[in-house]
């Protein structure tokens, strides 16, 4: 399809927003050459590492509270969980990689021995778990003080399920089939396996997560394709006054004299934004 100025502006925003490394002309040109769905895949891969600020109901699993470190770090943990329940911004507690390692051309190369995970969160993609630093001091750069212990959680739009506390050895991995897992990493996989099996009859075959050869999550690719499909279906209608009236009417909002909508993301929520009225018409809600 011929891309409208709205789509071109959306492309420009996505390319500018994704943290690129190296952040140079060649990287930008590679992103500019992608199809809209391909560009959305890179955006979803990165934005899934973030957590939108909204109140969530906190649940804590026994796999967390049974760890002696839970009691040792109780004050810091409670400080963090209060922020979760209140809907505060959790970005200062995220890994610094979430803000620096959004996309690199190196992981997209079609060759042997490519490091597919250079711009991906392995644990998040394979298990669906976020991890958070539980420091309380805000550093000058805007993030909390880094801690050796990190809290792992399953994050949804309205819930925050605390799974366990780990030290950083949980992130140590090897591509060798003969490598031995650290005890922390083995414990993480045990938690993931147990959660994946919940509610499944004994002897059943199940696939807990599907990962593409590119290293992307199958679910993330499907989500990106849905975003692109929405743009393809709706963008041609946005120059139709009657269609615009329907958008505002369905939301019980007065239509402005000269409505001007643009495509917009709010983390992984996607829709149309009215800059004048500050209305965000969400067409597709993201998972978190």
Q: Say whether both 230 and 210 belong to one domain.
A: no
Q: Say whether both 53 and 153 belong to one domain.
A: yes
Domains: count for the chain = 2
- 12 assigned to some structural domain: no
Mean pLDDT along residues 188-194: 96
pTM of the prediction? 0.95
Q: Say whether both 100 and 117 belong to one domain.
A: yes
Q: Say whether both 253 and 210 belong to one domain.
A: no
How many angstroms separate the Cα of 282 from the Cα of each of 9, 226, 271?
18, 13, 4
Q: Say whether both 94 and 170 belong to one domain.
A: yes
Q: Is the pLDDT of residue 178 over 70?
A: no
Domain end (from 162, 188, 215): 215
- Distance linking the first and last C-alpha atoms of the chain: 30
Contact 162, 153 (CB under 8 A): yes
Domain end (from 165, 193, 215): 215
57-60 and 269-274 as β-strands: parallel, antiparallel, unpaired?
unpaired
- 130 assigned to some structural domain: yes
Mean pLDDT along residues 51-79: 97
Q: Lowest-pLDDT range, 79-83, 100-104, 171-175, 186-190?
A: 171-175
Q: Is the pLDDT of residue 176 over 80?
A: no
Q: Say whether both 162 and 239 belong to one domain.
A: no
pLDDT digits (tens, 9 = 90+) for 230-249: 999 999 999 999 999 999 99
Domain end (from 159, 189, 215): 215
**What order of strands is seen across the sheet that includes strand 159-167?**
57-60, 159-167, 149-155, 130-133
**The domain spanning residue 55 has which CATH number?**
3.30.2310.20
Q: Say whether both 199 and 277 belong to one domain.
A: no
Q: Say whether both 147 and 244 belong to one domain.
A: no
Contact 235, 6 (CB under 8 A): yes
- 144 assigned to some structural domain: yes
For the chain, give the mean pLDDT: 95
Domain encompassing residue 280? 223-284
- 35 assigned to some structural domain: no
Q: Say whether both 211 and 229 belong to one domain.
A: no
Peptide bond into 22 cis (omega under 30): yes
How many angstroms separate the Cα of 123 from the Cα of each of 25, 162, 165, 256?
30, 15, 14, 46
**What order of strands is seen across the sheet that includes strand 261-266?**
261-266, 269-274, 279-284
- 59 assigned to some structural domain: yes
Nearest to 187 by CA among 119, 129, 118: 129
Q: Say whether both 157 and 247 belong to one domain.
A: no
Tokens of 10: 């959306």
- 4 assigned to some structural domain: no
- 266 assigned to some structural domain: yes
Specify burial of residue 251 (Cβ count, 10 A radius: 0-12, 13-18, 19+): exposed
Q: Say whether both 244 and 188 belong to one domain.
A: no
Nearest to 11 by CA among 47, 37, 48, 49: 37
- 95 assigned to some structural domain: yes
Q: Say whether both 176 and 111 belong to one domain.
A: yes
Q: Hey, is 138 helix, strand or coil?
A: strand
């Amino acid at each position: 399809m011929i891309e409208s100025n709205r789509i071109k502006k959306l492309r420009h925003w996505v390319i500018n927003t994704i943290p690129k490394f190296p952040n140079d002309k060649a990287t930008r040109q590679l992103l500019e050459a992608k199809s809209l769905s391909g560009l959305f895949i890179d955006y979803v891969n990165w934005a899934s590492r973030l957590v939108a600020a909204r109140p969530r109901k906190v649940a804590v699993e026994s796999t967390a509270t049974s760890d002696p470190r839970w009691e040792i770090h109780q004050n810091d943990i409670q400080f963090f969980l209060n922020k979760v329940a209140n809907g505060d911004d959790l970005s200062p507690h995220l890994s610094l990689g979430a803000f620096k390692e959004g996309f690199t051309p190196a992981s997209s190369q079609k060759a042997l021995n490519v490091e597919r995970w250079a711009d991906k969160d392995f644990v998040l993609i394979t298990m669906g778990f976020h991890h958070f630093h539980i420091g309380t001091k805000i550093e000058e750069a805007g993030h909390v003080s880094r801690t050796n212990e990190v809290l792992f959680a399953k994050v949804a739009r309205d819930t925050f399920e605390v799974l366990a506390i780990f030290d950083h050895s949980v992130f140590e991995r090897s591509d060798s089939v003969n490598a031995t897992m650290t005890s922390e990493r083995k414990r993480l996989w045990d938690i993931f396996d147990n959660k994946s099996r919940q509610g499944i009859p004994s002897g059943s075959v199940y696939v807990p997560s599907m990962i593409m050869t590119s290293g992307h999550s199958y679910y993330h690719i499907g989500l990106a394709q849905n975003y692109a499909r929405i743009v393809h279906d709706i963008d041609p209608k946005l120059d139709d006054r009657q269609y615009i009236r329907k958008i505002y009417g369905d939301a019980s909002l007065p239509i402005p004299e000269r409505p001007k909508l643009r495509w917009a993301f709010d983390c992984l929520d996607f829709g149309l934004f009215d800059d004048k009225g500050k209305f965000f018409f969400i067409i597709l809600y993201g998972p978190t």
